[in-house]
Structure 1
């Protein structure tokens, strides 16, 4: 089972949109995929129109009782573990010394899924640390601006602080506006660095409208530039996992 954390300490960078679209791209490429909505705001669950089933909350989650609360999304090969508002307090409930705590919780799903994608909350906390530890890859969306590049540098330092392997960290440029010289200059300066995937996710109305359509862009606008970009990005992520 390949586990991927979609993570950024900054909000509004296209993290959840990427988690939703990459999980769909994974499933249509034949991978049995589970999207885990770890953000208490529940945006990924909203996009897929998946409400919580039964009495799922942080207590059930920490006991490893996941299978009974996993929901189908309506798309073949793609399931979702919905978020719960009580996840906002997961940091308080987590074991500080249990580095493999989340990895052990999700291990029960190893025979059921090929790919696990975590939509992480936008912060640097104990939950973030444990999601990083539980993931084979950590993928960060970066808007081509100074503050977003700075956030990537801070994440690298965070990796060093918690003893995480920097080799599993990768980034991609998100919400790229080709009409903005700053975006173009930033992409040109950083795109060749090893940490970045080659694929750029453009700033397009198709992605913005996900909140209205509540579907992946490949469903609402098949063949669009956004759809093809997310598919290319997924193939880069998967190829890197296989090659490593």
Structure 2
């Protein structure tokens, strides 16, 4: 099954980009062809692979209608990069007809070339995030289990429901993914339980991403965790996440 998955949260620093990088690589290592799309003007996903505000980037497809500038990253792994220029797209897309569907339109000619498309979203609920949600089959909500973890999540889920109602009725929530988890901290376990109970109608991944220095080191070196530390907890957790997603596909047909 071909699938487009957005990784979202209205907050920064919750592991969205780390998840985009390492989930994508885990899926590629399992034999799937994966396209990553960076729709965050900060461009952290792109920078992780050495693309620093490239001249040929996502904004050209969103605003000018050009083909997606797909770059080869590794075997089975591809990237549509972005950078600070993408900020210009926000005002442009607000003022054009069907501005929230530009990514879906740009992705249409190539989406069937890939088994998975993973979209790294900005830490906001702006028109770029809306574009990602409209273009997706499902979303992963990355949540760090801190005191204010659930703050604003209800607004984000409202946005998802609006997208389902207005333009993407088949959109699913793939699951809430807890990131940067330290099992030694009782407060984190409490927050995980609180979020799960507050949004008890939504799926929660069994896999959690443990806080692991190897993930930070890999990002600093511009690598995925499998290349940097293949036997680390970080690699173990993202491999488990990929397997859980793939198993859902088998179960759901």
| TM-score exceeds 0.5 | yes
Moved more, 179-188 or 218-227: 179-188
Which residue, 183, 191, 208 being the options, matches 2:188?
183
Distance in 2 of aligned mates of 1:56 and 1:137: 24
Unaligned stretches of 5+ in structure 2? none
Q: Does 1:76 align with 2:72?
A: no
Distance in 2 of aligned mates of 1:132 and 1:46: 23
Q: Does 1:3 align with 2:4?
A: yes
Secondary structure at the counterpart of residue 201 of structure 1: coil
- Structure 1 residue 179: Cα displacement: 2.0
Moved more, 11-20 or 136-145: 136-145
Distance in 1 of aligned mates of 2:131 and 2:191: 31
Q: Does 1:173 align with 2:174?
A: no
Moved more, 162-171 or 82-91: 162-171
Which residue, 219, 235, 238 being the options, matches 1:211?
219
Unaligned stretches of 5+ in structure 1? none
- Structure 1 residue 105: Cα displacement: 1.0
| 1:88 corresponding residue in structure 2 | 87
Distance in 1 of aligned mates of 2:189 and 2:100: 39
Equivalent positions of 1:28-107 (< 5 A) are 28-51=29-52, 54-56=55-57, 58-67=59-68, 69-73=69-73, 75-94=74-93, 95=96, 97=98, 100-107=101-108
| 1:222 corresponding residue in structure 2 | 230
Distance in 2 of aligned mates of 1:87 and 1:241: 33
Distance in 2 of aligned mates of 1:225 and 1:57: 33
| 2:119 corresponding residue in structure 1 | 118
CA contact (8 A) 1:206 1:226 kept: yes
CA contact (8 A) 1:160 1:166 kept: no
Deviations 1:34-56 (A, max 9, x none): 11111111111111223465544
Secondary structure at the counterpart of residue 220 of structure 2: helix
Q: Does 1:21 align with 2:22?
A: yes
Distance in 2 of aligned mates of 1:61 and 1:126: 11
Moved more, 101-110 or 159-168: 159-168
RMSD between aligned residues: 2.3
- Structure 1 residue 232: Cα displacement: 1.1
Moved more, 18-27 or 203-212: 203-212
Secondary structure at the counterpart of residue 206 of structure 2: strand
| 2:204 corresponding residue in structure 1 | 196
TM-score by length of 2: 0.86
